[in-house]
Amino acid sequence: VTSRSSVNIDGSGGRRLGILEKVDLLRRAIKQAEDMAVEEELIDEARDLVQQLLLQEELRQQIEEVRKAEPIITQTQYCTLVNPLAQLSRRAQESKLPASLVHTANFLLNKSHAEYWLQVANNRLAEVECATEDSVGDMNRLREAIRKADSVEAEAKLVGNAQSLLSRLSAELEIRRAVGGFPEVRVPIPEPPKDYYLPSDIGHIMVDENYPLPPPDTGQYVWIPSDALKAQRSAVERLKKGLVEADKADANADLVSEAKLKQRESLGILKKLEAKDEEDRTLGEAAATKAAKKLKKKKKGKKKK
């Protein structure tokens, strides 16, 4: 022991000693200092340094144990490896241990925590054959667990497997929602009864200040498709996109088959609605053109007077 502020623990010839060698050297120096009745305060400093070095070595060894076991995905691993590392890390932050070692410990803690809870979230859904609305809560937890795992550089394979599972379940859920989201429309029929169609089933020409004349800048009427047609188009497009994603994600085959049947049925309805829309447009534009001619004729008559 050489002074109040430092302890000489270099090896002979300047050789760098291992931590346990330093501890052994310090303990012998402390014993010698006690025998020589060196000032107690200086001896206490050396004892504190011994404890710091022992903590540093214990933390280093625990870091190695966690690294050898990565990824941490079981409760046993978490309790026997991560919890002790967390306790050592808390003690290390209160001591004067190397910042790089403390940083490594904290990085591993965050990584292991994220990997463990990612696996927990993954396990809750791993046996789900096909997603339903009941799966939404667990899917949201898995999505958040993936986000956290990504942010701490969790094992790529673990994250990839979880993402694949989430993609499949998300595709299945979207297909269910797309199939269930089709509007109730009145399918066009030959010679429909007088009150068969509602206003939402019939398209119309956009009416502006020029009507019944067409817009002066284009000379063409602007046709607004019926609400029923727009809703059917949107639903068909949604299901189409859902089936593309389902194919990529290897979604449940039975669900995909049912969705494809619905797709064929809905395309048939869409075709009929579009044909009706064209008929409505032809009639609407003819009526508007007739009204425009009457208006022009009326204006000419006024000018002659």
Domain count, the chain: 3
State the Cα–Cα distance between residues 159 and 94, nearest whole angstrom: 33
Residue 78 forms part of a structural domain: yes
Instruction: Kindly state whether residue 187 falls inside one of the protein's structural domains.
Output: no
28 and 74 housed in the same domain: no
In a domain, 44, yes or no: yes
Residue after which a domain boundary falls, among 22, 40, 68: 68
Q: Exposed, middle or buried, 108 (CB in 10 Å: 0-12/13-18/19+)? A: buried
Q: Which of 29, 48, 68 is the last residue of a domain?
A: 68
Q: Does 282 fall in a domain? A: yes
For 205, phi and psi rounded to 5 degrees?
-80, 140
Nearest to 263 by CA among 243, 248, 249, 291: 243
Question: Is 223 in contact with 203 (CB distance < 8 Å)?
Answer: yes
The reply to whether 293 and 205 lie within a common domain is: yes
In this prediction, residue 43 carries a pLDDT of 56
Residue 185 covered by a domain: no
Same domain, yes or no: 107 and 59: no
Is pTM beyond 0.85? Reply is no
For the segment 165-189, what is each residue's pLDDT rounded down to a tens digit?
999 999 999 999 999 999 999 999 9
For residue 294, what are the domain limits? Answer: 199-304
The answer to whether residues 77 and 162 belong to one domain is yes
- Residue 275, φ and ψ in degrees, nearest 5: -65, -45
Residues 203 and 299 in one domain: yes
Instruction: Give a yes or no: residue 178 inside a domain.
Output: no
Domain assignment of residue 285, yes or no: yes
Query: Coil, strand, or helix at residue 34?
Result: helix
Between CA 158 and CA 146 the distance in angstroms is 9
Using DSSP's 3-state secondary structure scheme, residue 205 falls into: strand
Shared-domain flag, residues 34 and 130: no
Sites in the chain below the pLDDT cut of 50: 1-10, 12-14
Tell whether 235 and 296 lie within a shared domain. yes
Q: Are 83 and 39 part of one and the same domain?
A: no
**Do residues 88 and 63 lie in contact, with contact meaning Cβ atoms separated by under 8 Å?**
no
Residue where a domain terminates, one of 68, 102, 126: 68
Is 186 inside any structural domain? no
